Structure 1
Amino acid sequence: MKSGEDVFGYVQRLRGAFDDTLYKQVLGAANTFKEGDALVGVAAADENSRANARRLLGHTRLEDVRRHPLHQDALHALSLEAEDSQAATLTADWTLGRLRKFLLESDEAAIHAIGPGLGSDTIGCVVKLMSDAELIALGSKVFNPLPGSKVGARGYMGARIQPNSPTDNVDDIRWQVFDGFSYAVGDVVLGCNPVSSTPESVAAIESALLEVLVTFGLTDVLPHCVLSHIDVQAEVERRQPGTTGVWFQSIAGSDSANATFDISVEKMLAYADGRTGPYGLYFETGQGADFTNGHGHGYDMVLHESRKYGFARALSQRVARARQGAAPWVHLNDVAGFIGPEVFRTREQLVRCCLEDIAMGKLHGLTIGLDICSTLHMDVSLDDLDWCIERIMPANPAYLMSLPTKNDPMLGYLTTGFQDHVRIREQFGYKVDDRMWAFFQRLGVIDAEGKPTRHFGDPVWVYLQYLRAKGDSRPEADIRADAEQQLSAIRARGVPMARGHGTHPWDLEPALDAELRRVYVDSKKSLWTELTPAFITAVPEGVRLVSKSQDRTEYILHPETGEQLDASSLEAVRAMRARHAGRYDVQLMVSDGLNALAIMDEGQLAPYLETLRAALIAAGYQPAPEHLVLTSGRVRAGYRVGEALYAGMEDAARHRGLIHVIGERPGTGHHTFSAYITAPSGAVWSQPGKVDHNITRVVSGVALTAYAPSLAAPETVRLLQQLAPRGG
């Protein structure tokens, strides 16, 4: 490279004209290394290449970046509309190097003055030029609090209580809220991930969460949310007006990636325009979600993530307009480590990802929280998460997740527990939103000096106050006895409950800590176990298939290899299709996935398949007699099997289904499998790559200790009937 040369001069010199591919490669090379960028093909070859890319980027003008968008679609156009053109003139002739210097040397007011004019590509580029320490310095001086609260304000660090249940049991959910409140945690949102996204199930959880807030008089302070698809939340609100709180949706950085979530710019704008109440929208994002869903478009994960924030900024403005200019209650949660080692693998990369995203979110004017998390197939342990938290917290994100322990009993991944929040408050001096802190003092778990009381860490005490607020006048001893019975039942369903503490208020009670570590060890066993030859042979009418993964390590580190069948397996499926001659409309398929034990444990798969087959026949379907058994299989491998079975059939309008049973979520301790139900028309199956998650339904958390197989089977058929009534 030449002295003072910018990215565009470099590309012009090497290619003789602007070259989009080389441009994206240079931008990607400026990133700190992550495996996801390498898979996209834009990671730097070495540190020298990375340093050169950063020098080129530092000399590049913001206006030139704006004139060369990485990807043009409706989302990009909307993001441009959301930029403040007047603020943009302040920095139009700046280089990215000058912008970096300004951000590090200027105060918050000066940064807020130019922030609305910075485009998402510019913001994504400038963070590439910063060290971790510089990203912390930036994050620690820019804040975008939610209106009327201290959530997202300087010196405050909040919590989303994540009361997930492997069976959507409202007692599990309600008690986890009580548990969080007992540790003075939970000031941003009560946000539950549902197992079932049917309107009926979502409505039950919405009502349970709302009832807790109403009972404690918190509806004007704290919203609730069930993290189903936004269409489902809208349907629940239509059926039961006033029962939903803030509305959730995962968003991506391009139109094509958003289609995987079954959303569009048009749909999200319509929903934003309707959010006229006190609580608006809650988004979740995460680096790597775009390319792992097949929508990388040749550029790096940081820039994809920044574009999501541009989308969120635009939607936030629409919510403000819907509220006639009133500040919108809109926030975004960056789920930083949820996908797996194909995105990044180490604790250092997790820290880097979080710091990049905090800075980008704040520069977009967003209230941004974090899910500092790790899947069980990453090289990030329970203790590593504590190491990461300590290095990320100085950047002062708005909030973190919170559960009774670091392990989510439904999603099966590692995140932050209630007592992590207690430790963070002690270590960094961060505060809880003032209104909720006052509530925790009234509740009696925090005293007037802000110290834990004897009721701290006692969810039964919170339950007692809840019942008293509802008018229950039974003797305290009777209520406590009732509470212990409920807690025993909850633990039996595999949902841990934090009670008390260890040496310090932020230490887990020793027995619970030991149980957490036992589940962690079990998760690793679940992850690395493979289907045995004896098990495969025992599957009735089994047809053995293998993916393109050469071994378990490749399967875990390179998921795309598990999404395709090898040549001999594909031929076996085609031969079976020829034998069937169009007689059947449903195919059953079993894969090990990330949890072979979930498939092989006694009494799990066989009863499910037997009940499922009988229910399918009773409902008028014609399931094929064979069970396809795939080793090292991913969910998308099922879509490829469906294409091989159903593409090009004469009756192209007829819907044909594939039910893919796959082991998942090794960290729950339950050994759960899921059933993915896909049933488009033959015409859709005939379009290679058309079938994806957006037209698939799922029954998850199936296990003897969670969602019973005998109950999951009829639910599977019910969902199939929604997609293809009576096999039509």
Structure 2
Amino acid sequence: MYKSHVSHLTHDFKTLRNLMAKASPPRSGDYLAGLGAANSLERVAAQWALADVPLKQFLNEALVPYEQDEVTRLIIDGHDSVAFQPISHLTVGDFRNWLLSGQATTATLTAIAPGLTPEMVAAVSKIMRLQDLILVAKKCRVITRFRGTIGLEGRLSTRLQPNHPTDSPAGVAASLVDGLLYGCGDAVIGINPASDNLEATLRLLHMLRGIIERYQIPTQSCVLSHVTTTLKAIEQDAPVDLVFQSIAGTQKANDSFGIDLNLLQEAQDAVLGRERGTLGNNRMYFETGQGSALSANAHEGLDQQTCEARAYAVARKYEPLLVNTVVGFIGPEYLYDGKQIIRAGLEDHFCGKLLGLPMGCDVCYTNHAEADQDDMDMLLTQIAVAGCTFIMGVPGADDVMLNYQSTSFHDALYLRQILGLKPAPEFEQWLQKHQIFDDKNQLKQQAHIPELFKPTLQKIMGEADE
């Protein structure tokens, strides 16, 4: 039993799971699940009680039973007690104060990351304001490598997302070239296939390899098919750079995605057996999003933000190149409006970075949410200030295949200009070499297309005419 006394009232919270849910800032998904605080007074009382909970308690009281959930077993069995030792005496409130202090340096945060559980970081995020989430995440630095170096200080990478509603190679290639001409694509050139079948996946993988190799682009490709489809592609010796999969924070939710930890391990082993990188071997790409477990009725009584943080334990096991929260994609049933989306995006980024992940964000919303592009501009700017590893680059910020609103090629230019950020160093050199960026990393205001791309564009136009 957890208690707190607020406004002459005593508030009782029967379990740590219940306390975490009641302490969570308001969001529609928790109310849909019947878990949210009844009012602001109860929420404050829960946050007050949560601040007094020792961090060690999260190792003693599993929010989802150890015996029935492999994600819980992963979290408990993989906990690094040595890394945890320097902060093991702290309560959640003390941990917040420590994170905001000068003692929590980049090196220190890197060292303690293996000793933190998702529930610990979710708990502390619930008692932090937005500027706290930004400040601490900014101090975290997670660097990964494949053909480029992702996550360095002063850098912001982008996923070039050239989706097409029919997987037309010409349509994909047109968006791809457009994005490259705006300096996007250093994190990954990643396509969500309209049809998740092996034939479509193979066709897109070979097309992407052809463009990357022809122009010697220091980046990596990914066709975001289900992991089982990608495994079949690897068996056919397809040019797979990264293995993608959506993941969640409970075993039941991952079951609904058709995956488990053994399958992810099989995929990682398969892709690591085919060396394609030049600088490193981080080969996995994961996407998450608050509400995914609840939408599958697989949240196990957890509030959606805590459930989301547990997904990061799954991601951490496989040393990914990239992880991102698709924060507003699932819809207003889970994050109702711009205010909730902004808060969730900053929470997710904070939790992922603190756990040692190369965390990006798809700053996005669906058209039936109470949000608009102004809200996305706020989250876009705040998350870049917080040191976000990468964002999306979608033509016109409007994904014509997935039917949602994201961020555009121009948004990356805006962030890089206003905050003085650069692409990954290898990609930066490539952009300058081909006269796309100048030596100050500004987009060249040129009236002509670089000679580099003219053959590809001519081919695209010919296919379009046909």
TM (normalized to structure 1)? 0.59
Deviations 1:399-433 (A, max 9, x none): 00101211001111000000111111111111111
Distance 1:64 1:2, change over 3 A: closer
Contact preservation (8 Å) 1:40, 1:296: no
| Pairing 1:235–2:232 present | yes
Residue pair 1:79, 1:314 contacting (<8 A) in 2 also: no
Letter in 1 for 2:430: F
Distance of 1:274 and 1:202 partners within structure 2: 17
C-alpha distance in structure 2 between counterparts of 1:61 and 1:348, whole Å: 30
Amino acid at match of 1:433: A
Gaps of 5+ in 2: 276-280
Indicate the residue corresponding to 2:418 in structure 1.
427
Structure 1 residue 308 and structure 2 residue 304: aligned?
Answer: no
Partner of 1:69: helix, strand, or coil?
coil
Q: CA offset at residue 448 of structure 1? A: 2.5
The aligned counterpart of 1:388 is: 379
When residues 87 and 388 of structure 1 are mapped into structure 2, their CA distance, relative to the original with a 3 A threshold, is: closer
Shift in Å at residue 259 of structure 1? Answer: 0.8
Secondary structure in 2 aligned to 1:284? strand
- Alignment partner of 1:334 is 2:334: no
Is the Cα–Cα contact under 8 Å of residues 250 and 299 in structure 2 kept in the other structure?
no
Matched, 1:32 2:25: yes
**In structure 2, what residue type is equivalent to 1:202?**
T
Map 1:433-444 → 2, pairs under 5 A: 433-444=424-435
Structure-2 residue corresponding to 1:271: 267
Q: Residues 341 and 489 from structure 1, CA distance in 2 versus in 1: closer, same or farther, beyond 3 angstroms? A: farther
Q: Is the 8 A contact 2:145 2:321 kept in 1?
A: no
Q: Which has the higher contact order (CA 8 A, sep 6+)?
A: 2
Shift of 1:31: 1.2
- Show the counterpart of 2:119: 121
| Matched letter for residue 86 of structure 2 | L
Preserved CA contact (<8 Å) 1:163 1:192: yes
Distance 1:361 1:159 in 2: 18
C-alpha displacement at 1:484, in angstroms? 8.1
Equivalent in 288, 292, 295 of residue 289 of structure 1: 292
SS in 1 for 2:222: strand
How many residues are paired up?
Answer: 450
1:208 aligned residue: 207
Give the equivalent residue in structure 2 for 1:465. Answer: 452
1:262 corresponds in structure 2 to 258
What is aligned with 2:278?
none
Shift of 1:265: 1.6
Decide whether aligned partners of structure 1 residues 167 and 4 sit closer, same or farther in structure 2, where only a CA change above 3 A counts.
closer
Once residues 4 and 194 of structure 2 are traced to their aligned partners in structure 1, the CA distance between those partners, rounded to angstroms, is: 55
1:170 positional shift: 0.7
Q: Aligned with 2:59: secondary structure?
A: helix
* Residue number in structure 2 paired with 1:690: none
The one-letter code of the counterpart of 1:214 is E
Residues 141 and 154 in structure 1, CA contact (< 8 A), matched pair in contact too: no
**1:298 alignment partner, one of 288, 296, 301:** 301
Contact 1:372 1:415 in 2 (8 A): yes
| Residue pair 1:66, 1:122 contacting (<8 A) in 2 also | no
Instruction: Provide the secondary structure at the position in 2 that maps to 1:365.
Output: coil
Contact 2:142–2:353 at 8 Å: present in 1 too? Answer: yes
Q: Secondary structure at the match of 1:432?
A: coil
| CA shift in 2, pair 1:93/1:440, >3 Å | same
Quick check: 1:215–1:466 contact (8 Å CA) kept in 2? Answer: no
Cα shift at 1:487: 9.1
Q: Does residue 132 of structure 2 align to residue 134 of structure 1?
A: yes
* Among 218, 223, 231, the residue aligned to 1:226: 223
Q: Is the 8 A contact 1:247 1:281 kept in 2?
A: yes
Question: So what's the TM-score if we normalise by structure 2?
Answer: 0.91
Shift of 1:147: 3.1
Q: Alpha carbons of 1:489 and 1:336: their partners in 2 closer, same or farther (altered >3 Å)?
A: farther
Aligned to 2:55: 62
Amino acid at match of 1:120: P
Q: Distance in 2 between matches of 1:388 and 1:76?
A: 31
Q: How far apart are the structure 1 equivalents of 2:3 and 2:34?
A: 26
Asked if 1 retains the 8 angstrom alpha-carbon contact of 2:345 and 2:379, the reply is no
> How far, CA to CA, are the matches of 1:454 and 1:93 in structure 2?
56
The answer on whether the counterparts of 2:17 and 2:63 sit within 8 Å (CA) in structure 1 is yes
Matched with 1:163 is: 162
Alpha carbons 2:71, 2:249 under 8 Å: kept: yes
Quote the residue 2:172 is aligned against. Answer: 173
Of residues 85, 88, 91 in structure 2, which corresponds to 1:89?
85
CA-CA distance at 1:437 after TM superposition: 0.9
More moved, 376-385 vs 34-43: 376-385
Amino acid at match of 1:356: E
**Match 2:349 to one of 344, 358, 375:** 358
Structure 2 match to 1:217: 216
RMSD: 2.3
Q: What letter corresponds to residue 230 of structure 1 in structure 2?
A: V
Structure 2: distance between partners of 1:330 and 1:2: 39
* Residues 443/384 of structure 1: CA separation in 2 closer, same or farther (3 Å cut): same
Q: Distance in 2 between matches of 1:487 and 1:126?
A: 54
- Asked if the contact 1:120/1:306 (under 8 Å) is kept, the reply is yes
Q: Spell out, residue by residue over 1:662-703, the C-alpha distance to the aligned partner (whole angstroms, 9 max, x if none).
A: xxxxxxxxxxxxxxxxxxxxxxxxxxxxxxxxxxxxxxxxxx
d(CA) in 2 for partners of 1:368, 1:255:
22
Letter in 2 for 1:254: T
Find 1:245's aligned residue among 223, 241, 248.
241
Cα distance in 2, alignment partners of residues 160 and 176 from structure 1: 12
Aligned to 2:366: 375
Alpha-carbon separation, structure 2, partners of 1:293 and 1:378: 20
Q: Does 1:100 align with 2:93?
A: no
Q: After TM superposition, list the pairs within 5 Å mapping 1:542-691 onto structure 2.
A: none
1:272 Cα offset (Å): 2.4
Q: Secondary structure at the match of 1:369?
A: strand
Q: Distance in 2 between matches of 1:75 and 1:211?
A: 38
Deviations 1:464-521 (A, max 9, x none): 41466xxxxxxxxxx87x468459669xxxxxxxxxxxxxxxxxxxxxxxxxxxxxxx
Deviation at 1:177, TM superposition (A): 1.3
Contact 2:3 2:49 in 1 (8 A): no
Structure 1 residue runs without a partner (length 5+): 317-328, 469-478, 491-728
| Counterparts of 1:4 and 1:53, CA distance in 2 | 7
2: CA distance, partners of 1:339 / 1:2: 33
Shift of 1:187: 0.4
**Fraction of identical pairs, as percent:** 29
Structure-2 separation of matches of 1:3 and 1:364: 29
Matched, 1:43 2:43: no
Structure 1 segments of 4+ aligned residues over 6 angstroms from their partners: 1-5
Q: In structure 2, what is the Cα distance between the partners aligned to 1:454 and 1:131?
A: 40
Cα distance in 1 between the residues matched to 2:238 and 2:208: 13
Change (3 A) 1:58 1:237: same
> How many Å separate the matches in 2 of 1:32 and 1:309?
20
Asked whether the equivalents of residues 249 and 283 of structure 1 are also in contact (C-alpha less than 8 Å), the reply is yes
Which residue type is aligned with residue 104 of structure 1? L
Q: Tell me, what secondary structure is at the counterpart of 2:397?
A: coil
Encode CA deviations 1:330-352: one digit per residue, 9 max, x unaligned: 32111000011100121111111
Equivalent residue, structure 2, for 1:199: 198
Which whole-Å CA distance do the structure 2 matches of 1:311 and 1:94 have between them? Answer: 25
